[in-house]
């Protein structure tokens, strides 16, 4: 019995670590654009707005903290072309504090006109 339990536990550890645990308040359409590493711990991306002025993709994302504790969020945008290849060398990671029950909007502009898609990579300090 114990042996069987240990095997089950080992199988549990084998679950991929990169499983995305988005906050339930993050809409599925937004979650599809967000690459979350680890747990969201109450941090949600409530909305993402995309515009294309002057043939350049511009994205704004609203972060919200559902809990009373301040959260440290690391994020960056990854720009993709029409076939899914990364455009440019990649943005630098940014650090941002989302205050308890607060909201923060972040914005980024694609480095070239060939960028047609993006991913928001984020990590909430555990």
| Chain contacts with another protein (rule: CB under 8 A) | 2-3, 6-7, 9-10, 13, 53-54, 56, 58, 74, 76, 88, 90-95, 107-113
Q: How far is the CB of 95 from another protein (least distance, A)?
A: 5
Q: How far is the CB of 69 from another protein (least distance, A)?
A: 18
Q: Quick one: tokens of 89?
A: 């060398």
Which residues are bridge partners to 97 per DSSP? Answer: 72
Q: How far is the CB of 57 from another protein (least distance, A)?
A: 10
Residue placing its CB nearer to another protein in the complex, 19 or 94: 94
Q: Quick one: tokens of 75?
A: 């994020």
Phi, psi of 103 (to 5 degrees): -130, 150
Phi, psi of 22 (to 5 degrees): -65, 150
């Amino acid at each position: 019995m114990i042996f069987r339990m240990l095997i089950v536990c080992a199988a549990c550890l084998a679950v991929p670590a990169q499983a995305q645990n988005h906050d339930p308040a993050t809409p599925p359409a937004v979650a599809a654009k967000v690459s979350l590493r680890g747990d969201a711990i109450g941090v949600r991306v409530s909305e993402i707005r995309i515009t294309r002025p002057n043939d350049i993709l511009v994205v704004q994302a609203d972060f919200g903290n559902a809990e009373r504790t301040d959260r440290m969020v690391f994020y960056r945008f990854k720009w993709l072309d029409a076939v899914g290849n990364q455009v440019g060398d990649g943005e630098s990671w940014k650090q941002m504090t989302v205050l308890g029950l607060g909201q923060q909007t972040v914005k980024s502009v694609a480095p070239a006109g060939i960028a047609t898609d993006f991913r928001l990579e984020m990590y909430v300090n555990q």
